[in-house]
Amino acid sequence: MSPGNRLAIVLLVPALPLLAGCQRPPAVAFTVAPARAEGQPDRLAVTMRIQGAPSKGLELRGFATTGVLKIEDISAAGADGAPIAAATTIENASFNNRTLDIPRIVLHGPLPPTLVVRYTVRTGTREGDSHMGFTGRCHGYFGKEFGFTVGRDLFLLPDPAERLRDLSVTFDLPQGWEARAPWAKAGDAFRPGVGGTLAAEHLVSAAVGFGRFHERSFDLGGTRCRLAFEADIPAEQEERAAKGLEAAARYVHGLFGRDLGPEYLVVVAPKAPTGDEIAGEGWGTGQGGTLAPLTADRLHTFAMSLIEAYVRHAPYRTEVARPEEYWLVDGVKQLYSWRAVAAAGLIPEEEVTRSLAVGYLLSIGVLGVEPDLEKIYSSAGAHRIETEARAPFVLAHLDHELRGGSGGKETLDALLPTVFGRSRAPSFWSIVPQVHPDFRAEFRTRYVQGREIIPLGRAYTLAPTQPQPDPPAGPVTRRLTLLFTGDTQGYLENCGCKVNQSGGVARRSTALAALRKGDPQALLLDVGSAFVRPEKQLELDFLTRQEQALYLGTLDMMRYQAAAVGTTELTFGLDYFREQTRGLSVPFLAANIRNDGKPVAPATLVLRSNGVRVGLIGVFEPPYGKTATALFEENTQSLAFDDPIDTLKRVVPSLRTKADLVVAIGRLTPYTIRTVAASVPGLDAVISSEYRAPAKIDGKEEHIHPEDQPGFVGRMLVAYSSLTNYGLSSVRLGLDAQGRIASAEFGDHWLYEDTPDDPRVRETLNRFYDRVGRLAAAQEAVPPLFADDPARRSGDYVGAAKCAECHAAEMAQWRRTKHASAYKTLLDRHRHFQPKCVVCHVVGFGTPHGYRLGMPEALLANVQCEVCHGPGAAHASSPAKDNIRREVPAKVCLECHTPDHSDHFVYEERLPKVKHDYFEQ
Amino acid sequence: MSMLIKYSARFLAIVAVTALVLAALAPSVPAHNPYVSALSSVSIGSTYAVPINCPNNSCGGKKGCRADHGFYCTLSGGTCQTSKCL
């Protein structure tokens, strides 16, 4: 090298940092400990020692929303203890048309080079809201038993975080506790980062456990997979979870045929003591969250996160190079995560493709879905349906076509190591085998680019049911009517505020009376899931239990003669089922459900109608995967579900000796029903609550319906309770001289608003609302609105009349809106003692100074000024602009105008109608 | 003087080449891609992307709405429409 060049390089080296426009990023050492203050058992105290802070000032940024990363008591000081002002602000980021509020702390310069920032974080935010109910998930937990969090719910970082290289974390935990985190350890400190890079990303995405742990480990090739079980997880749960996690992990590792880093840590937490599942997160070095007891859904989450380590997350991912092939990342993740659950034995293999086929079929009719998968990353929007329903099924279909076209020699699985074996993926289509000429181009154009819909009729659908039995029966000699409901989910009646107001027990009773006039001996059956479903009522509070008991009581009032044990009967556990059905007249049947070897309910029952002895069998096929809730899986782990087909083969012959007609009621999928029809010859009919399956509706390949239709499969009759809580169904059977079903007339009876209430049931409901709604326990079961707004929950309300003293024009305008007559809606529908309804039709229900049941209507009834503008006592006594809320953000309205209660509410359209410059014509 | 100009030119040339090399080595992933960093706003949103107050139902053909995660079914004038929850 010439001296000139040498001189140039000498000049360049010191200039490079300046050229890059940066100085060395600060180093941050975190110390995390339980908060010491009294009454803060759920708080973690975080100390950040920042070295090399820029003199001009520093901003600390969070990586979770303010609803989750709840920063309290923040303070900053120099190394000498001199305080530094820390201003808390909120950064607004946009995600899928939603605004995310992210905490940002500003430390204005001049700053000393070494800073100490202290703050506490309140863990355990529950997802959902107190009015509509919680989803059953929470973000982090810290208590006396154990703790779990993800990095983003705990840490702030100097902005821009991407440049940070030197981060360390030390934990100061109670005696005997340890921390489990996917970071390398140096002495007492953990050091996030891989190969000297990605420190901030590694910190933020980490799953961290605190407490006592049992560790198990196994090798996935060159990657050591560590499972850290929180020590209080019962041994049998740990054993089951360890088996399932290892099976799924081995399946995933086998698919990609390569290793991740040297170690992959899985922090296995139990549920939080509140009953909530703790949300986890994953990255290339590990993951964690509530994984015990292990359910199919939790194993799916685990498998998906592990697959993401190969296909999405730094630092071990393979990057798909071509933007038009990005959809592969989603497709592979979704398809193979479910296949991993099947490989671990938690769901049947065929259930994966079936479930994806139904999802794909449903996605066809959804507005706004991008048909071309190659465009989902270049067009605006969330594309959840495309990535979660369409992409995996397109891949499943590709697999199907490859196998079919090659006689089983070619598979999608075999392509994965080639595509995802290195850091950069080759072109996918270049390696897809041409199982017939132009296969690749045709498949891509038709199904990936969405020019055509995948021909479900050829491979994924059931043969349609037929209108007549095969072989035909003899001439009809007797008639029999079966009336049935199913999947009614404890639905008493609509709330009175939705556009769709179908259903309700009072209307059902009226419809039944009319149908019984046609056949007084008609049999009335419920085929299962008459209990409330957990998505609606996660917690069995006082009011929910009372409503459930009332609902079951109305079954007796309507003279139900038998019911099957279904999914929701077991979702809250066997004890709850027994508690609720004690003393009921209607018998619940279950032939294949055992607890400690004993049946949980009678298997069969013989009823008589029009001289026909009808033998009923309760049978239950448990839901799997997406159709099963975690609560159901957890609460049924002690139960044994015998194979429904084997059960029917065993029970039907003996029941036949006592009955002229044998009918199975309960939950059987249309797929199982086809097998039953072929293998249980003595069974005359099945009435099932589960009807979902892609089925050809008239035998034509292109006429596919996502639900099976009633009719005959061979000689067996099939009927479904598909009206759920909106109606009831009937089938009028014609029997031949031998008792075989010769004909069937199916009827759907919707319970629209033109169906009057049965006065007797109406009166029962009204008395219930009056009696139970007044009880303190029922009112306490309905929390006040605005859970995150302490001022609204503790404020002093004065009522609209007081506001009108100064705001007469606004009052006049308000009186013309529907808000001013909101309470009358309750009176008209007799819901004025139903706390779940009252809370949205008055001011401050459930708060110390708000509306109370029975209060004079004029004072705080209706949706008054203070619902929008907040408690007004201070403003009324001393009017000022700064002691009343002039602006009304959308979330105030959306607290009550939810899809469940206000199903056609569009905020932007409705807002002008309540503004004070608007007058209804 | 001429030496200074010469060395300055070499210095600028090296700077230019270095910048070009850095640019060439930088990842060329487009803005919308599956590889978002855990630090990005998209990751923050995705972490909490459970639809809030989503009724989780979809059209059941002529039969009304039935449970279906992430969808939102409306019945109006006898027709049913399924939409995505945000």
The candidate with the shortest Cα–Cα distance to A713, out of A667, A744, A739, A748, is: A744
Which is more confidently placed, A775 or A439? A439
pLDDT of residue A762: 92
Q: How far apart are CA A832 and CA A847, in angstroms?
A: 17
For B11, nearest residue in chain A (alpha carbons): A8
Contact A726 B53 (CB under 8 A): no
Which pLDDT band holds residue A671 (cuts at 50, 70, 90)? Answer: very high
Residue of A nearest to B37 (CA): A201
Residues of A in contact with B70 (CB under 8 A): 384-385, 388
CA distance B32 to chain A (A): 5
How large is the average pLDDT for residues A784-810?
A: 87
Closest partner CB to B54 (pick from A65, A500, A899): A899
User: φ and ψ at A70, to 5 degrees?
Assistant: -95, 95
User: Any idea which of A254-268, A759-773, B61-75 has the lowest mean pLDDT?
Assistant: B61-75
Q: Is A428 on the interface with B (CB under 8 A)?
A: no
The pLDDT value recorded for residue A166 is 96
Output the pLDDT for position B25: 44
Q: Is A753 on the interface with B (CB under 8 A)?
A: no
User: Which residue from B minimizes the CA distance to A626?
Assistant: B69
Where are the strands (E) in A111-196, listed by range?
114-122, 125-129, 133-139, 141-142, 147-150, 157-158, 167-171, 178-180, 184-186, 189-191
Q: How far is B24 from chain A (nearest CA, A)?
A: 15
Instruction: Report how far apart, in Å, the C-alpha atoms of A553 and of each of A252, A513, A556, A581, A908 are.
Output: 50, 17, 5, 9, 43
Are B10 and A4 in contact (CB < 8 Å)? yes
**Tell me: domain A478-750, CATH 3.60.21.10, correct?**
yes
Give residue-wise pLDDT tens across range A216-264.
Answer: 999 999 999 999 999 999 999 999 999 999 999 999 999 999 999 999 9
- A397 SS3 class: helix
> How much is the pLDDT for A385?
79
| Chain B CB contacts of A502 below 8 Å | 64
The fold of A783-914 is Flavocytochrome C3; Chain A, domain 2 (1.10.1130)
Tell me, what's the pLDDT at A251? 98
Collect all residues of chain A within an 8 Å Cβ-Cβ radius of residue B67: 533, 535
Q: How many CB pairs under 8 A join A and B?
A: 171
Give A420 to chain B, closest Cα distance, Å. Answer: 14
A707 touching B (Cβ < 8 Å): yes
What's the pLDDT at A240?
95
Chain B contact for A367 (CB, 8 A cutoff): yes
pLDDT tens for each residue of A332-384: 999 999 999 999 999 888 889 888 888 888 787 676 788 899 999 988 766 77
Mean pLDDT of A121-132: 77
Residues of B in contact with A311 (CB under 8 A): 34
Q: Nearest-CA neighbor of A531 among A483, A575, A571? A: A571
In order of A142, A850, A852, A881, the CA distances from A799 in angstroms are 41, 9, 13, 18
Mean pLDDT of A125-148: 81
Residue that wins the pLDDT comparison between A4 and A71: A71
ipTM over 0.85: no
A residues 662..691 contacting B (CB < 8 A): none
Mutate which: B66, B73, B76, vs A, most A CBs within 10 A: B66
Q: Which of B33, B52, B61 sits opposite A323 (nearest CB)?
A: B33
Interface test with A, best of B5, B35, B62 (most A CBs within 10 A): B35
Least confident of A198-207, A514-523, A790-799, A898-907: A898-907
Mean of the per-residue pLDDT values of chain A: 89
Contacts A63 to B, Cβ<8 Å: 38-39, 43-44
In the prediction, which pLDDT does A686 show?
98
Q: Residue A608: is its pLDDT beyond 90? A: yes
- Interface mutation target, options A384, A632, A895, chain B, most CBs of B under 10 Å: A384
d(C-alpha A789, C-alpha A892), whole Å: 10
Q: How far is B26 from chain A (nearest CA, A)?
A: 14
Position A150 pLDDT exceeds 50: yes
| Contact across the interface for B39 and A5, Cβ inside 8 Å | no
| Strand-pair partners of A87 | A106
Chain-centroid distance of CA B78 in Å reads 38
Q: What is the pLDDT of residue A527?
A: 98
What pLDDT is attached to residue B83?
A: 66
**Could A366 and B71 be called an inter-chain contact, meaning their C-beta atoms sit closer than 8 Å?**
yes
Q: How far is A548 from chain B (nearest CA, A)?
A: 20
A128: chain B residues, CB-CB within 8 Å: 52
Mean local confidence (pLDDT), A635-639: 91
> Is residue A407 scored above 90 in pLDDT?
yes
B2-23 pLDDT per residue, tens: 666 676 667 666 656 655 554 4
CB contact under 8 A, A93 and B65: no
| Test mutation, A366, A498, A538, A571, chain B, max B CBs within 10 A | A366
In this prediction, residue A893 carries a pLDDT of 86
| Chain B residues lying within 8 Å of A377, measured CB to CB | 30, 32-34
Label each residue of A674-716 as H, E or C. Answer: HHHHHHCCCCCEEEECCCEEEEECCCCCCCEEEECCCEEECCE
Shortest CA distance to A617 belongs to which of A666, A573, A653?
A666
What's the mean pLDDT in A689-707?
78
Beta-carbon neighbour count of residue A859 at 10 Å? Answer: 18
Q: Which among B50, B60, B84 has the least Cβ separation from residue A366? A: B84
Residue given tokens 């940024």 in the structure block: A61
Encoded tokens for A786? 């605005």
Closest partner CB to A68 (pick from B18, B48, B61): B48
- Which run of H or E residues covers position A744? strand A741-750
Q: Cβ of A137 and B32 within 8 Å?
A: no
Q: Which of B33, B42, B47 sits opposite A152 (nearest CB)?
A: B47
**Predicted local confidence at residue B48, as pLDDT:** 62
CB contact under 8 A, B61 and A281: no
Q: Enter the tokens of residue A365.
A: 């009719």
Residues A623-648, mean pLDDT to the nearest whole number: 88
Instruction: Give per-residue pLDDT as tens, A535-574.
Output: 555 567 788 889 899 999 999 999 999 999 999 999 999 9
Kindly tell me the burial class for residue A759, based on how many C-beta atoms sit within 10 Å of its own C-beta (0-12, 13-18, 19 or more): exposed
Rounded mean pLDDT, A193-200: 95
Which of A4, A127, A705 has the CB atom closest to B61's CB atom?
A705
pLDDT at A920 over 50: no
Exposure b/e, A469-495, CB count within 10 A at least 16 = b = beeebeeeebbbbbbbbbbbbbbbbbb
Say what the pLDDT of residue A357 is. Answer: 87
The more confident residue out of A533 and A572 is A572
Residues of B in contact with A365 (CB under 8 A): 59, 82
pTM, to two decimals: 0.80
Q: Which of B6, B8, B11, B81 to mutate to test the interface with A (most CBs of A within 10 A)?
A: B11
Strand order in A189-191's β-sheet?
A83-84, A70-78, A114-122, A43-51, A27-34, A167-171, A189-191, A184-186
pLDDT-derived band at A21, boundaries 50, 70, 90: very low
Question: Measured between CB atoms, which of B6, B34, B44 is closest to A64?
Answer: B44
Pairwise CB contact (< 8 Å): A63 & B55: no
Interface test with A, best of B17, B40, B53 (most A CBs within 10 A): B53
Task: Report the run of H or E that residue A299 belongs to, with start and end.
Answer: helix A296-311
Q: Would you state the pLDDT for residue A4?
A: 55
